[in-house]
Amino acid sequence: MGKITDIVRQKGNKTRVSLFLDGAFLCGLDELTAMQHRLEIGREIDADEIARLQAESEYRSALDRAMNRLAVRPRSEYEIRDFLKSKGYMSEVSDKVCDRLFQLGYLDDGSYARQYIDENKSRYGAIRLKNELIKRGVSRDIIEEQLAECDRGEAVAELARSLFKSCGGDKYKLKNKLYAKGCNGDDISSALEILEDEGLFDE
């Protein structure tokens, strides 16, 4: 048991305060936690309560950082966990943050994969899309599920049209460029059939 002798707002982070116990610095807490628990000079506090306050403060801080990260662009669960780890948060804190983000609907690897595929399916083939999502920590099952729901035939055909002129209308060169973009053989064949039906190779 000790007595709070000072509570000082931190200069480097005005949303946090430094807590002093019996004249010595004890720990840093986010200001909201300090306010909600009505910490004030002269109050006595024991080690168990201090530990609970620190855990709550760490969680609030980590959640705030994760949400700011997600506000820039969607992220996978792996990316959020990796980010929090890089900031020094323990795995228990990351678990709690990710659970809360799932509850709020801000973290969903299925939605993340679907959005990534929709935004990039006209630039990359299925192989490239899969590899990029694997790098971002999305499970293979989720990736396969989202790729199966995507209309890749028309997406690859659109990609083929964008590359057509740079290939001089040469089907062999176009096929190689599509392979280089990460398209698989079946999708390439379907795309070339669409372009043939449109009469592009007859020009």
2-27: pLDDT as tens digits: 888 888 888 877 778 888 888 888 77
Q: Strand 24-30 vs strand 2-9: parallel, antiparallel, or unpaired?
A: unpaired
DSSP assignment, residue 147? Answer: H
Q: Is the pLDDT of residue 199 over 80?
A: no
Sorted by where each begins, the domain ranges of the chain are 2-104, 109-202
Tokens coding 126:
């299925």
- Report percent pLDDT > 90 for the chain: 34
Question: Would you call 117 exposed, middle or buried from its count of C-beta atoms within 10 A (0-12, 13-18, 19+)?
Answer: buried
Q: Sign of the CA dihedral 162, 164, 167, 171?
A: positive
Q: Would the pTM count as exceeding 0.75?
A: no
Taking all residues of the chain, what is their mean pLDDT, rounded to a whole number?
87
Q: Is the pLDDT of residue 38 over 80?
A: yes
Residue position matching structure tokens 């057509």: 164
The span from the CA of 87 to the CA of 82, in Å, is 9
Q: Give mean pLDDT, residues 58-75.
A: 93
Residue position matching structure tokens 């678990």: 95
Q: What integer pLDDT is reported at residue 203 of this predicted model?
A: 55
Q: What integer pLDDT is reported at residue 202 of this predicted model?
A: 63
Q: Is the pLDDT of residue 1 over 80?
A: no
Question: Would you call 179 exposed, middle or buried from its count of C-beta atoms within 10 A (0-12, 13-18, 19+)?
Answer: middle
**Residue 45: closest CA among 9, 10, 5, 18:** 5
The architecture in CATH of the region 2-104 reads Orthogonal Bundle (1.10)
